[in-house]
Structure 1
Amino acid sequence: MDLNTITAVERPTSREALRVWRDGDAFLAGGTWLFSEPQPKLTRLIDLSTLNWEPLRATGNGLEIAATCTIAQLDGFAAPPGWIAAPLIGQCCRAFLASFKIWNVATVGGNIVMSLPAGPMISLTCALDGELLIWGPDGRERRVAVVDFVKGPVSNDLKSGEIVRAIHLPLAALTRRTAFRQISLQSHGRSGALLIGTRDAGGAFMLTVTASTPKPYQFRFDALPGADELTARTDTTIANNWFDDIHGLPAWRRAMTLQFAREILAELGGGAA
């Protein structure tokens, strides 16, 4: 879609050029949402592609993902052998309601910043204890966990003029065992529930609930809980805050969430749900 209110497009090549922020500005990464509907309040786009950030960097501390890394680039990442949580990357990439064309332009940072309940990059990075590096227009920076960043549908902790620079996935999270469950009402539909469980070498268990709720929820246990304990805590904490839209009624989302919680627990615990 043409954005006929845009009068200028800036193409910065350094962080310093990002500091001049004004009303009517928007950062442009993949643009898959930005160009999907009218944006009458926007007058200037700041194209992040000219910053040429390295998409992915594996280090001894984990994985650094640039906010401008595309879904296709992330899906093609070859993880070190010891990163046994790496299959989650492909599983979450394939949870997108998107064609391969979108994969080649949509970005990891853009999916998180959109903060939609079914955003699979939110699911992935929350489950792996992802932390955002956020740049401010005044030159300052801060870090915030993805699970705390997303507040609800199209609502997050990003302030005016701030930009997500990168997402860090710590090594400890990448070496955990994982279990993945996702469902939608159609074979290629938007996720109605997407749950990820992880368990570390010491036995600690974590369940991340997304898509069935307006924002991510996490449940941590020092040891594997019982199935009734897990589902009771999940249901009580979420209470009536199940997401409701055309892609799934709250009662169905709740039922699938609690069922998947039991299945994930059984898979990571080696028992029956």
Structure 2
Amino acid sequence: MDLNTITEVVRRPPERPGTQWRQGDAWLAGGTWLYSTEQPDLRRLLDLTALGWEPLVPRDDGLEIGATCTIRELYAFPWPLSWTAGDLFRRSCEAFLSSFKVWNAATVGGNICLSLPAGPMITLTVALQARYELWAPDGSVRFVDALDFVTGDHRNVLAPGEILRRVVVPGHALRRRTAHRRFTLTRLGRSTVFLVGTQRPGGNDLLLTVSAGTVRPVRIAYGSLPDARTLRQSIDDLPADVWFADPNGTPDHRRHLTRHFAEEIRHELMAGDL
């Protein structure tokens, strides 16, 4: 779609692009959502791709994912064998179920900042206990837990002009065992629910991330694997207004699917069936 209100595109912003931010601006990375709908309030685009941020930087203590890392780059990354959670990255990329054009353009940061309930990069980073590095226009930097970033459907904690610079995934999370379940109404449809369970290697704990069926991601933590009744009760105890409603499912439908898939995840991790 042509954005006919745009009067300027800043192709080479400064290294700290937020210093140029003004009302009516938008950050441009992949642009797959930006160009998909009318943007009547926008006047200028600041192109982040010119900054050359490294897409993926493995470290001794984890992994850094640049906000402009494309879905294609994330999917193609050769995960070390010691990162047992590596397969979850591929499964989350596949949750886009979009054309190769979108995969080659859409970015990790864009999917996170769009903050839609079905955002698979949100599910991935919350499940792996990531933190987001945010840059403000005044030059200050803050870190936010992935779990706390999205506050509702298409809502997050970003202040005007603030930008997501990178995602930092801790090494201990990359070495956790994982199990996931995802449901869509059609083979190429948007996620109705997307659940991820993780567990320490050799441990008996459970971190269950519930997303897509909720307006914001939810994490339920257990020091040891719960029984079926306790798990179901934890899901039933979630606030009524956290469940999402759209043509892909009612809140009751999504709660039912969450109970069902959470129990499957519990069994899989209990049996060690990866």
Confirm or deny a common fold (TM above 0.5). Answer: yes
Matched, 1:39 2:39: yes
Report how far residue 242 of structure 1 moved.
Answer: 1.5
Matched, 1:252 2:253: yes
Partners of 1:117 and 1:17 lie apart in 2 by: 28
Question: Partner amino acid for 1:241?
Answer: V
Question: Partner of 2:34: helix, strand, or coil?
Answer: coil
Report how far residue 17 of structure 1 moved.
Answer: 4.2
Structure 1 segments (4+ residues) deviating >3 Å: none
Residue pair 2:18, 2:162 contacting (<8 A) in 1 also: no
Corresponding position of 2:137: 137
Question: Partner of 1:103: helix, strand, or coil?
Answer: helix
Report how far residue 146 of structure 1 moved.
Answer: 1.1
Residue pair 2:18, 2:135 contacting (<8 A) in 1 also: no
Partners of 2:16 and 2:72 lie apart in 1 by: 29
Change in Cα spacing, 1:105 to 1:130, as seen in structure 2 (3 Å) is same
In structure 1, runs of 5+ residues without a counterpart are: none
Matched, 1:159 2:159: yes
Residue pair 2:18, 2:138 contacting (<8 A) in 1 also: no
Partners of 2:80 and 2:13 lie apart in 1 by: 31
Change in Cα spacing, 1:17 to 1:240, as seen in structure 2 (3 Å) is closer
Alignment of structure 1 residues 139-218 onto 2, 5 Å: 139-201=139-201, 202-218=203-219
Residue pair 1:21, 1:161 contacting (<8 A) in 2 also: yes
Question: Partner of 1:4: helix, strand, or coil?
Answer: coil
Corresponding position of 1:73: 73
Partners of 1:214 and 1:118 lie apart in 2 by: 9
Change in Cα spacing, 1:90 to 1:17, as seen in structure 2 (3 Å) is closer
Partners of 2:97 and 2:213 lie apart in 1 by: 15
Partners of 1:109 and 1:224 lie apart in 2 by: 33
Question: Partner amino acid for 2:134?
Answer: I
Over residues 157-188 of structure 1, what are the superposed CA-to-partner deviations in whole Å (9 max), with x where a residue is unaligned?
A: 00001000000110000000000100011111
Question: Partner amino acid for 2:189?
Answer: G
Question: Partner amino acid for 1:126?
Answer: V
Partners of 1:16 and 1:192 lie apart in 2 by: 37
Partners of 2:113 and 2:147 lie apart in 1 by: 12
Moved more, 122-131 or 249-258: 249-258
Question: Partner of 2:45: helix, strand, or coil?
Answer: strand
Question: Partner amino acid for 1:209?
Answer: V
Report how far residue 203 of structure 1 moved.
Answer: 2.4
TM-score by length of 1: 0.97
Residue pair 1:12, 1:18 contacting (<8 A) in 2 also: no
Residue pair 2:182, 2:194 contacting (<8 A) in 1 also: yes
Report how far residue 11 of structure 1 moved.
Answer: 2.2
Residue pair 1:184, 1:190 contacting (<8 A) in 2 also: yes
In structure 2, runs of 5+ residues without a counterpart are: none
Residue pair 2:199, 2:206 contacting (<8 A) in 1 also: yes
Change in Cα spacing, 1:8 to 1:205, as seen in structure 2 (3 Å) is same
Report how far residue 13 of structure 1 moved.
Answer: 5.0
Partners of 2:190 and 2:120 lie apart in 1 by: 10
TM-score by length of 2: 0.96
Alignment of structure 1 residues 3-22 onto 2, 5 Å: 3-22=3-22
Report how far residue 96 of structure 1 moved.
Answer: 0.9
Over residues 240-264 of structure 1, what are the superposed CA-to-partner deviations in whole Å (9 max), with x where a residue is unaligned?
A: 5321101112221111100001000
The number of equivalent residue pairs is 272
Matched, 1:231 2:252: no
Question: Partner amino acid for 1:196?
Answer: V
Question: Partner amino acid for 1:26?
Answer: A
The sequence identity of aligned pairs, in percent, is 50
Question: Partner of 2:238: helix, strand, or coil?
Answer: helix
Report how far residue 12 of structure 1 moved.
Answer: 3.0
Report how far residue 140 of structure 1 moved.
Answer: 0.3
Residue pair 2:13, 2:46 contacting (<8 A) in 1 also: no
